[in-house]
Structure 1
């Protein structure tokens, strides 16, 4: 799926300092930049901070855009460079591995737990949170290839340009990332594998006790087009090789937070 670009005329106007054009340019990419940051970094505070910094960087580098690629490709390349180059983001990476994650998932499972208040909402939040956290087990290079290829569904030409890789190198990274995620979900995710120890329902009591999910707070699943049961049914209808893909696609798309938009508007205000 390609990302809709703003017109060359709007970009030229933005480069000439037209404020409305600048806002249109940033608006065209802000949601995608935020979703990229959320899927790669997972933590919403880190993602919000990174998104604001990336959008400001796009703004300050706008004059260097020469139209040699699609604007969205150029903007996402700036985002990837920031994510890879920001030491504070590297320092906050939890160092999660599939082995550590699997052990955590299988700790404290309850075979037949009683339903909790807001059971359906909590299960959906747990589903989405776990699906997102799973990608932290991939090394950053594989994670980026996976997010662009299987989450954003970009074609290999655009994804390899964004990552500044040869197409063959990108394909190898995406293939390896897919293999690792599929192998993990098949063995450990009750929504994908038939004989796994973990299921969201069995896992929910431990997740509540650890504060991984909290009643009345659904930051990852709010606005999802799918309920927990919808996602389970949808994943169950596809063949084995597509179950993991469907699981990742069932994470909701998020709009860029309003406070980031407010701060960018402040930065764009006359007199700054």
Structure 2
């Protein structure tokens, strides 16, 4: 699953917490290697969070860079009240929920009902048989699941991503969002109901009786510019070392065969290396006093 939480034993959890505190203490003391280790530890999960919220990789790269710089700039305020990644999610979520830039679906105020109607328009009678059919069908699925998330209001979208995609506990997700656990569960349930209803009525992956098939949307998606057969954005996206590939994510989705699995079944995307290097340059720019000690 596209999850960022570890199912550790209590003893392992305590040891991991101690290691995080030691790493952050060294970073705050001005150890540039420790700062780089913090960035390396957080960059891919934060990129995957940003990608779910802003849809397009280019925008997610920019958002991840800004989030990481805020994380580094505020490291001294971390007191171990949550895992380092959970704390970083809180900074990231605050940034992403307040972005002025809108996704195309947000700008158009596209509802899930309208999105469903759009998917029915231009659906081919047969599966796509052209070059790279499996790759392009996967690209359609990945792009579509990203787009459908954008049809949720941001507060519902982030609740769904934290709970059903990253599988944070309701306690941790509520802390990230700075709301009560009951309020979070209510928000998550509302989002799950909307997504579940949409997928059950629309998506052939989630429900064999539904009308839409990724392989029958390829031609229309290419025509509309939703996917680029020469340069797929999601199906060929770099993944984290040892992370799930597109094929492994799809296999997992098929085994689980439920609505939430469709949204989880993205590979473990890695933050693009060019952005990571740009962040390193900024960290050495003198903008961060803790690195000048």
Query: TM-score w.r.t. structure 2 length?
Result: 0.84
Distance 1:133 1:53, change over 3 A: same
Q: Partner residue of 1:2?
A: 5
8 Å contact from structure 1 (residues 37, 50) kept in 2: yes
Corresponding residue number in structure 2 for 1:39:
52
Distance of 2:98 and 2:285 partners within structure 1: 31
Q: Secondary structure at the match of 1:88?
A: coil
Q: Could you say if the C-alpha distance between residues 17 and 151 of structure 1 is closer, same or farther in structure 2, counting changes exceeding 3 Å?
A: same
Q: Which runs of 5+ in 1 are unaligned?
A: none
Which of 105, 115, 126 is 2:129 aligned to? 115
Does 2:36 correspond to 1:23?
A: yes
Whether 1:210 and 2:230 are equivalent positions in the alignment is: no
The aligned counterpart of 2:148 is: 134
Give 1:268 shift. Answer: 2.2
After superposition, the Cα gap between the structure-2 partners of 1:159 and 1:225, relative to the gap in structure 1 and judged at 3 Å, is same
Q: How many residues align?
A: 267
Alignment deviations for residues 56-107 of structure 1 (CA, whole Å, 9 cap, x no partner): 1111111222222222222111101111223235798433210221111011
Q: Indicate the residue corresponding to 2:139 in structure 1.
A: 125
Conserved 8 A contact 1:128-1:220: yes
Compared CA separation, residues 25 and 142, structure 1 to 2 (3 A):
same
Regions of 4+ moved over 6 Å? none
Corresponding position: 1:161 with 2:175: yes
Between the aligned partners of 1:234 and 1:10, the Cα distance in structure 2 is: 34
Match of 2:12 in 1: none
* Cα deviation code 1:94-123 (max 9, x no counterpart): 332102211110111121255111111110
Mapped to 2, the partners of 1:90 and 1:125 lie a distance apart of 19
Once the two structures are TM-superposed, the CA of residue 27 in structure 1 deviates from its matched residue by 1.3
**98-107 or 82-91, which moves further after superposition?**
82-91
Unpaired segments ≥5 residues, structure 2: 7-15, 288-293
Following TM superposition, by how much is the alpha carbon of 1:237 offset from its aligned partner in structure 2, in angstroms? Answer: 4.6
Query: 1 CA distance for matches of 2:129 and 2:163?
Result: 37
Taking a change above 3 Å as real, the CA distance of residues 19 and 122 of structure 1, as seen in their structure-2 partners, is same
Alignment counterpart, residue 185 of structure 2, candidates 171, 179, 192: 171
- Deviations 1:187-238 (Å, cap 9, x if unpaired)? 011111233222112212111111212223222122663449x83x754554
Following TM superposition, by how much is the alpha carbon of 1:34 offset from its aligned partner in structure 2, in angstroms? 0.3
User: Could you say if the C-alpha distance between residues 235 and 66 of structure 1 is closer, same or farther in structure 2, counting changes exceeding 3 Å?
Assistant: closer
8 Å Cα contact 1:182/1:244 also seen in 2: yes
Residue aligned with 1:192, SS: coil
- Aligned equivalent of 2:64: 51
Report the counterpart of residue 159 of structure 2 in structure 1.
145
Structure number with greater CO (CA < 8 Å, separation at least 6) is 2
